[in-house]
Structure 1
Amino acid sequence: MQSTKINYVELPARDLELNKAFFRQAFGWDFEDYGPEYSAFKNAGLDGGFFQADFCSRPQTGAALVVLYSDDLESAVSHVEAAGGTIEQVIFEFPGGRRFHFLDPCGNEWAVWGPLV
C-alpha cells in the first residue's frame, strides 16, 4: 500500500503582512513569499502557508482546527496576546493535557495544547 500522510496545510489570511508579523512575534516562525498573495511558513513544525482571502478558517464553519504544541501554555498565551492575537477559549483541561484557543489577526482559529501540570 502506498504511504500517504498529511504534508502541508494552507490557511486564508485577509492581510498577509499582518499575519506574518503576528506569527513571527508570537512563535518565531519564518516566511517565504511566493508572489503577492501567498506566503509559506517555516519553523512551524509542519509545512504550510497563508493565501490571500477575504474569509477565515474557523471550526464552527466546518474548517479543520490546527493545533500547536507548547511545553508552557501560560507563556504561549502571553506571546499570543502580546503579538495581537485574541484568546477565544482560556486554558482548559482535557483527557491527556490542557489547551487554549486563539484567533490570529485575520480571524483564523488555532489551538495550543500542552501537558498537564
Structure 2
Amino acid sequence: MQNNCINYVEFKSTNIKETKKFYTNIFSWKFTDYGKNYIAFSESGLDGGFEYTEVPIINGALVVLYSDDLKKIQDKIIFYGGNISKEIFEFPGGKRFHFLDPSGNELAIWSLK
C-alpha cells in the first residue's frame, strides 16, 4: 500500500446477492463476504467493495485512500477547508474516516493502525 494514494473504491448496493452474481458472471471478479451487508471484490484492477443500502443510490461510489497516519491527514483536511463527515471508526482490517472536500465530494481514508 502506498501512503496517500487511492487504494480502494466502494459502491452501494440495494441487493448484495444480485450484485455479487452480476459482477461474478460478467467480469469474473472474486468476492469476500463480510457479514450480510458488505462484500469486498478483487481481481478487478482495483480492489473495492459493495455496501448494502436501503436508500436510493444517488452517488454510489466512494473513493478510499490509504494513509499511514489518520490523525495527521485528518488535521490537514480540516486545515485546508475540508469537513469530516464520519469520524474515525474501526472496521475489520483497520480504521478509517470520511471527509468532504470543499466542493462536497465525499472520500474516505483508511489505515491499518
Structure with the higher fraction of residues in strand conformation: 2
What TM-score comes out, normalization by structure 1 length? Answer: 0.48
